[in-house]
Structure 1
Amino acid sequence: GRNEKGQLGHGDTKRVEAPKLIEVLGGEAIALAACGRNHTLALTESGSVFAFGENKMGQLGLGNQTDAVPSPTQIMYNGQPITKLACGAEFSMIMDCKGNLYSFGCPEYGQLGHNSDGKFIARAQRIEYDCELVPRRVAIFIEKTKDGQILPVPNVVVRDVACGANHTLVLDSQKRVFSWGFGGYGRLGHAEQKDEMVPRLVKLFDFPGRGAAQIYAGYTCSFAVSETG
């Protein structure tokens, strides 16, 4: 495939026309991989994460912003073993074995879940973004009532995560779904098209017997399979 930013992990930026083993990872047992617009994450069976490709927004989690990292490099993280990962266009999500979620990369629409879009005015009135360069835990989960109240949702244990281009979904241990990030076209499932800066409970699945079993995200849309199938 295309390889302008080294997203194929072969140490160069040459296009590759057929599947080719990533030699640097040859000694690792890979359990999962995820692809963003121009970056890739790979998860080993031991719970380590390697990243390669474009890193101009910090989406590789290496603690810096560089144009490209063409060889697999272990991310800056020393917590519990990672069990799930997902990539958006220019951001990434990882989940540890205890159900904690971490994000890094571009925060433009709130898709990192840290209650900010990271926007600031730089020189010459140019808009730039304060990106997350290393994994940062997503700590706040909320629900919004019909009268507009915002209430915290405690003790969320994440079981799965999915990313669209600029939005994120999670499924928790109680079969609830939370979504956040860019809200255009209704992709967040909240009956409004507002961006959400922190994980917000999707009300449809917050009833006994109506929980979700699986979640998926397309580029600009979202899907869930209910527990009843």
Structure 2
Amino acid sequence: MPTCPTQVKIKPIAFHLELPKRRVTVGRVLVCGMGYTGQLGLGSPVLLLNRLSLVSRVPNPVDVCAGGLHSLVLTKSGDVYSFGSNEEGALGRSSSSQDCRESMPALVKLPGKALCISAGDSHSACILEDGSVYVWGSFFHSHGNMGMTNDDNNTTPTNLLAGTVCCSIASGSDHLVILTTSGKVFTLGCAEYGQLGRISERSLSGDGRRGKQDLLRPAQIFIKNAKPFEAIWATNHGTFLREFQTGTIWAMGLNDSKQLAHGNELEPDHYIYPVKTTLQNIKQIAGGSDHTLLLQNNLQCFAVGSPECGRLGLGDIKDVVPKLTRVKKLSDNIVYVGCGTCCSYAIAEDGKLYSWGLGSNNQLGVGEGEDELEPVLVSSKHMHKRKMLLASGGEKHSIFLVEADAKN
């Protein structure tokens, strides 16, 4: 009599994300805008710079990031350089001046080489080659300085989630989002607009019985029945998460100008827990204080939120744009989008850079100092025959990375 074959139980394969790869294309660092705290990195406090200028004191840069009043640069070898305001420890190193303004790029001492960087108003972060997250600086809320962790300000880099391997970080103005290789998302920082996605309404301000303890200790966001997450993004006061397999995108945080691309005028102006959006086929999300840019997989750029100062790039409109609206003045081959607090950037596949929005602080790089209601092409002698790679805006300054080698 034949016997039934023994059934072998197959163990499910554990979900796993790879560590990020450090960018490899060496570029040149360009800056513009206001530099009164040294955030332009030109060796002396430049009050105003209306054209893109070269920062020459960082070897082999491959990544750049603008904080509120400071800047970070990552090199090909994994070193991190910082410059700008160090009043709250955002530079991760000691200050040589009494006013804590460092206009000369200098090395941040880390226990390993960095793979990626992020920066907020007064904080900085990076992921090292072993997947550890190091942070320094401070968060703020409406009552003032919150500190960075429960140990207060961190003027030197501190390991945030010891023993946890992480693969992505995203900084808002005053919050940090962390994605682990197992698809879990942790948040910490200011929660006043719900951007942490895990704090009850009565505890958002940090004035409750537990104080700031739950805000400054990284804790996981839980969503019932959600798949592991594969991507995270942060705007000034918002957070976006994307599920693996389903592609579902969740959002939380400030939505008073519909900058989360969710809800109607009757819904609340902020979401303290993640809400499921209808966003699909999203390649990248970037945002300022009241607007958001979304780059779709088809390389088209869309905008949503407040049109003030032209930050949406949709022309002379006055009303909030609650639904995704394509920025028609851009081509169909946009490969990267970036934002400052009140301005926007887009880089096309051919390497051309476009900027729009608030122009009074000259961070658009077009030299006029006027608001630009639609995308305008940025030109510079430093970009001649070179492709722009990255664009990042702070509160009143911008930092860019352009190819180091000119192309025929």
TM-score, structure 1 normalization: 0.78
- 1:43 paired with 2:127, answer yes
Deviations 1:156-197 (A, max 9, x none): 222221212211112222322211111111101113352111
Give the drift of 1:35. Answer: 0.8
Identify if the C-alpha distance between structure 1 residues 121 and 164 changes in structure 2 by more than 3 Å, giving closer, same or farther: closer
Contact 1:93 1:102 in 2 (8 A): yes
Give the drift of 1:130. Answer: 6.5
Task: Look up the match of 1:144.
Answer: none
Q: May I ask how many residue pairs the two structures share in their alignment?
A: 201
Task: Look up the match of 2:249.
Answer: 177
Give the drift of 1:223. Answer: 2.4
Task: Look up the match of 1:101.
Answer: 185
Q: Larger radius of gyration, structure 1 or 2?
A: 2
Contact 1:111 1:197 in 2 (8 A): yes
Q: Percent of counterpart pairs with the same letter?
A: 23
Identify if the C-alpha distance between structure 1 residues 121 and 189 changes in structure 2 by more than 3 Å, giving closer, same or farther: closer
Aligned residue for 2:257, secondary structure, equals helix
What amino acid maps onto 2:123 in structure 1?
Answer: H
CA distance in 2, matches of 1:192, 1:105: 27
- Aligned-residue CA RMSD in angstroms? 2.4
CA distance in 1, matches of 2:117, 2:197: 22
Identify if the C-alpha distance between structure 1 residues 180 and 7 changes in structure 2 by more than 3 Å, giving closer, same or farther: same
Map residues 1-229 of structure 1 onto 2, 5 A cutoff: 1-12=84-95, 14-22=100-108, 24-25=109-110, 27-55=111-139, 56-58=145-147, 60=148, 62-64=149-151, 66=152, 68-75=153-160, 77-117=161-201, 118-119=203-204, 131-140=214-223, 152=224, 154-173=225-244, 174-192=246-264, 194=268, 195-205=270-280, 211-229=281-299
What amino acid maps onto 1:132 in structure 2?
Answer: L
What amino acid maps onto 1:21 in structure 2?
Answer: L
Deviations 1:64-110 (A, max 9, x none): 3x2x32111111x2353011011112211111001110001111111
Contact 1:171 1:214 in 2 (8 A): no
Identify if the C-alpha distance between structure 1 residues 37 and 189 changes in structure 2 by more than 3 Å, giving closer, same or farther: same
Q: Which runs of 5+ in 2 are unaligned?
A: 1-83, 140-144, 300-408
Give the drift of 1:226. Answer: 2.3
Identify if the C-alpha distance between structure 1 residues 212 and 120 changes in structure 2 by more than 3 Å, giving closer, same or farther: closer
Aligned residue for 1:198, secondary structure, equals strand
Identify if the C-alpha distance between structure 1 residues 220 and 83 changes in structure 2 by more than 3 Å, giving closer, same or farther: same
Contact 2:150 2:212 in 1 (8 A): no
Q: Which runs of 5+ in 1 are unaligned?
A: 141-151, 206-210
Deviations 1:34-79 (A, max 9, x none): 1111111121121111111125435x3x333x2x32111111x235
What amino acid maps onto 1:181 in structure 2?
Answer: G
Identify if the C-alpha distance between structure 1 residues 9 and 175 changes in structure 2 by more than 3 Å, giving closer, same or farther: same
